[in-house]
Structure 1
Amino acid sequence: MEFPCDDNRISIVDLPEDCLLAIFRKLESDTDRNSFGLTCHRWLQIQNFGRQSLQFYCSLTIPNLSPLSQVVPNINSFHLYRLLSRFQQLSSLSLSGCTELPDSGLNPLQYFGSNLQSLYLDCCFGITDNGLSLVATGCPSLTSISLYRCSITDVGLEILVKACKALKDVNLSYCSLISDIGIRALSRECHEIQAVKISFCRNIFGIGFKGCSQALTFLEADSCKLDPEGILGVVSGGGLEYLNVSALSSCIRGDGLAAIGAGFAMRLRILNLRMCRSVSDESVVAIAKGCPALHEWNLALCHEVKLSGWEAVGFNCHNLEILHVNRCRNLCDRGFQALRDGCNRLSVLYMHRCCCVTVTAIELFKYIRGNVKIKEEELMYIGPKWPFFR
Structure 2
Amino acid sequence: MRGHDRINNCLPEELILEIFRRLDTKPSRDACSLVCKRWLSLERLSRTTLRIGASFSPDNFVTLLSRRFLHITSIHVDERLNVSLPSLSPPSKRKRVSNKSSPSSSKRRNLTNTRHSEAENAESCSLTDAGLIALANGFPRIENLSLIWCPNVSSFGLNSLAHKCTSLKSLDLQGCFVGDQGLAAVGKFCKQLEELNLRFCEGLTDAGVIDLVVGCAKTLKSIGVAASAKVTDLSMETVGSHCKSLEILCLDSEHIHDKGVIAVAQGCSRLRNLKLQCVNVTDESFSVIGELCSSLERLALYSFQQFTDKGMRSIGKGCKKLKNLTLSDCYFVSCKGLEAIAHGCKELTRVEINGCHNIGTLGIEAIGKSCPRLTELALLYCQRIGNSALQEIGKGCKSLEILHLVDCSGIGDTAMCSIAKGCRKLKKLHIRRCYEIGNKGVIAVGKHCKSLTELSLRFCDKVGDVALIAIGKGCSLQQLNVSGCHQIGDAGISAIARGCPQLTHLDISVLQNIGDMSLAELGEGCPMLKDLVLSHCHHVTDNGLNHLVQRCRVLETCHMVYCPGITSAGVATVVSSCPHIKKVLIEKWKVSERTIRRAGSVISYLCMDL
| TM-score bracket for this pair, using the shorter chain length | 0.7 to 0.9
Structure 2 partner of 1:144:
324
Equivalent position to 2:384, from 203, 206, 209: 203
Quote the Cα distance in structure 2 between the aligned partners of 1:39 and 1:317.
Answer: 53
Contact 1:180 1:208 in 2 (8 A): no
Name the structure with the higher strand share.
Answer: 2
1:242 and 2:425 correspond: no
* 1:45-69 Cα distance to aligned partner (Å, 9 max, x none): 99522211122232xxxxxxxxxxx
1:73 and 2:255 correspond: yes
Alpha-carbon deviation of 1:353? 2.2
1:108 and 2:288 correspond: yes
Equivalent position to 1:50, from 245, 251, 258: 245
Name the structure with the higher helix share.
Answer: 2
Helix, strand or coil for the counterpart of 2:458?
coil
Contact 1:25 1:50 in 2 (8 A): no
Quote the Cα distance in structure 1 between the aligned partners of 2:372 and 2:486.
Answer: 38
Helix, strand or coil for the counterpart of 2:503?
coil
Alpha-carbon deviation of 1:298? 0.3
Helix, strand or coil for the counterpart of 1:155?
helix
Select between 27-36 and 166-175 the one with higher mean Cα deviation: 27-36
Quote the Cα distance in structure 1 between the aligned partners of 2:334 and 2:542.
Answer: 53
Alpha-carbon deviation of 1:213? 2.5
Equivalent position to 1:375, from 542, 558, 565: 558
Structure 2 partner of 1:83:
264
Quote the Cα distance in structure 2 between the aligned partners of 1:299 and 1:220.
Answer: 15
Quote the Cα distance in structure 2 between the aligned partners of 1:339 and 1:39.
Answer: 56
* 1:204-255 Cα distance to aligned partner (Å, 9 max, x none): 2332322142321111111223211101122321121111112222x23454
1:286 and 2:470 correspond: yes
Contact 1:326 1:352 in 2 (8 A): yes
C-alpha change, 1:40 and 1:87, in structure 2 (3 Å) is closer
Contact 1:351 1:374 in 2 (8 A): no
Contact 1:95 1:122 in 2 (8 A): yes
Contact 1:254 1:280 in 2 (8 A): yes
Q: Give the AA of the match of 1:119.
A: L
Aligned ranges for residues 1-390 of structure 1 at < 5 Å?
27-29=169-171, 31=186, 32=190, 33=193, 35=212, 37-38=214-215, 48-58=243-253, 72-76=254-258, 78-96=259-277, 98-150=278-330, 151-204=332-385, 205=387, 206-225=390-409, 226-235=411-420, 236-249=422-435, 251-263=436-448, 265-292=449-476, 294-376=477-559
Alpha-carbon deviation of 1:26? 8.1
Quote the Cα distance in structure 2 between the aligned partners of 1:219 and 1:93.
Answer: 23
C-alpha change, 1:197 and 1:377, in structure 2 (3 Å) is farther
Quote the Cα distance in structure 2 between the aligned partners of 1:260 and 1:90.
Answer: 39
Helix, strand or coil for the counterpart of 2:377?
strand
Select between 28-37 and 347-356 the one with higher mean Cα deviation: 28-37
Structure 2 partner of 1:5:
none
Alpha-carbon deviation of 1:366? 2.1
C-alpha change, 1:337 and 1:99, in structure 2 (3 Å) is same
Quote the Cα distance in structure 1 between the aligned partners of 2:171 and 2:463.
Answer: 51
Quote the Cα distance in structure 2 between the aligned partners of 1:175 and 1:131.
Answer: 15
Q: What is the root-mean-square deviation in Å for CA atoms of aligned residues?
A: 2.8
Helix, strand or coil for the counterpart of 1:73?
coil
C-alpha change, 1:201 and 1:80, in structure 2 (3 Å) is same
Quote the Cα distance in structure 2 between the aligned partners of 1:342 and 1:241.
Answer: 22
Contact 2:412 2:437 in 1 (8 A): yes
Quote the Cα distance in structure 1 between the aligned partners of 2:393 and 2:217.
Answer: 54
Alpha-carbon deviation of 1:39? 8.3
C-alpha change, 1:351 and 1:127, in structure 2 (3 Å) is same
Length, aligned pairs only: 337
Consecutive unaligned residues of structure 2, counting only runs of 5 or more, are 1-165, 173-185, 194-210, 221-238, 562-610
Structure 2 partner of 1:10:
none
Quote the Cα distance in structure 1 between the aligned partners of 2:357 and 2:217.
Answer: 50
Alpha-carbon deviation of 1:35? 4.0
Q: Give the AA of the match of 1:49.
A: K
**Which of structures 1 and 2 has the bigger CA Rg?**
2
Q: Which has the higher contact order (CA 8 A, sep 6+)?
A: 1
Quote the Cα distance in structure 1 between the aligned partners of 2:217 and 2:304.
Answer: 37
* 1:305-327 Cα distance to aligned partner (Å, 9 max, x none): 12321221121112212111112
C-alpha change, 1:130 and 1:316, in structure 2 (3 Å) is same
Contact 1:255 1:282 in 2 (8 A): no
C-alpha change, 1:199 and 1:41, in structure 2 (3 Å) is closer
Contact 1:209 1:230 in 2 (8 A): no
Quote the Cα distance in structure 2 between the aligned partners of 1:129 and 1:230.
Answer: 27
Q: Give the AA of the match of 1:157.
A: L
Identity of aligned residues (%): 22
Contact 1:221 1:245 in 2 (8 A): yes
